[in-house]
Amino acid sequence: MAFIFRLPDIGEGLEEAEIVEWFVAIGDEVLRDQPLVEVLTDKASSELPSPVAGTVLLLGADEGTRLQVGEVLIEIDDGSTAPKVASEPLSTQTSPTKSQPPTPLPEVAPLTARPKAAPATRRLALDLGVDLTTMIGTGPGGRITVNDVHAAAPASTSTGGLSNDDSTASDGLGQAAAGRHALRGIRGVVARNMTQAWTEIPHIHTMDEVDASLLIDFRDRIRDMDRSGATRVSVLVVAAVATARALRRFPVVNGHVDGHPGDAMVIPEHIHLGIATATKRGLVVPVVHHADTLDLFTMADRISSVVGAARSDDLSAADLSGATFTITNYGSLGGRFATPIIPPGQGAILGLGAVAERPVAIDGEVVARPTLPMVLGADHRLIDGDLAEAFRRAVADDLAEPLHLLIGS
């Protein structure tokens, strides 16, 4: 009889997921806990393991299809005499429900505990001939990262501590064959989120250009310091610390409007910064949690970690959840000004342009000085022009004189 495995709620409170890749086909023999499929929610991709051993009878949807929680994902003939259904949240070690006794399993070799690694990391390990079960990961909770795989790979196949993913995300940028293409994967997530944000949030934008002379000098001096995180300090890192400081001062900017068209204002207890990151799969926004508790050097380490994980496709759902405010650094791509879109569930976004020498009036004379363009996008249901200007000015003042960030409020 068929064991019917329905798409479970995988713990993110979301109602649907996209089938990214099937690891099995109809007729395949599978073991209990063997990965069956990679699914993508609006948070992250996850692998779902088989709750039973048996033969695959049916795949519930094609790759690229979005299923609702509770819809049939796969049917497996597990040798039992009565049909069974599973739709509970699964871990790599699935427990039987209280209403059913455990199903006797066929005689199979014992399975090694499944190592923690993202689907892309598993594919890379397969390509490089690396056995993940022999490794101890350096990521959070022992998670195996892309760099771990490269470090363990034979010298002839590995590029060392940094993979080719260290190249810019613009490789192949804007390339697609003529014709109609479904919006799938990360691009589909971005499309849905941006449509929601643009149609539901009335945006206002305020922009300015900050004299970055002291900021650049500050960054360069910090990088020369002999302490952890110093070499990772960047304009983005300094801006993140300044933003967290301004959000403590103006907590409404850290809030968001709840309900449609807007029934309540929600002010979060904590400050969690989303860092918009361009990757080869598309735009993702990993989160630096409790950003207001981090000093400059810890912030540098955290941003480096989450951005690196994003570009290596090694983010967990927790890494992508909970942002209360987002920073987008399009200046890293050479842009000067933009009007960024506020992510759903937030009230504002800060955009940073490229630092470059530009003409500035100083004491009645026009001179060349490095300047940092910045734009604040705000939800006008929550934030009026006076608050938007006050917040942007608070961030700008700390960027113009970054010593403020070392001496406290």
> What single string gives the DSSP state of each residue in 66-105?
EEETTSEEEEEE-S-SS-EEE-S---SSPPPPTTSPPPPP
> Could you tell me which residue, 261 or 242, shows the higher pLDDT?
242
Q: 105 pLDDT band (50/70/90 cuts)?
A: very low
Q: Which domain holds residue 37?
A: 2-106
pLDDT of residue 300: 94
pLDDT at 115 over 90: no
E strands, 158-263, are 203-211, 256-258
Does 201 fall in a domain? Answer: yes
Same domain, 353 and 327: yes
CA angle (206, 207, 212) in 5-degree steps: 145
Closest CA to 309 of 85, 62, 144: 144
Same domain, 207 and 345: yes
Same domain, 297 and 402: yes
Does 177 fall in a domain? Answer: no
pLDDT at 274 over 50: yes
Active site residues: 380
Same domain, 119 and 95: no
Does 176 fall in a domain? Answer: no
Same domain, 192 and 281: yes
Closest CA to 47 of 95, 105, 119, 116: 119
Mean pLDDT of 114-133: 70
Same domain, 159 and 192: no
Does 65 fall in a domain? Answer: yes
Give the residues across from 149 on adjacent strands: none
Does 174 fall in a domain? Answer: no
Q: Please count the structural domains in the chain.
A: 3
Same domain, 234 and 311: yes
What is the residue whose two structure tokens read 């342009």? 353
Same domain, 263 and 361: yes
Does 258 fall in a domain? Answer: yes
Same domain, 344 and 395: yes
Same domain, 156 and 278: no
Same domain, 36 and 138: no
pLDDT at 319 over 80: yes
Same domain, 157 and 300: no
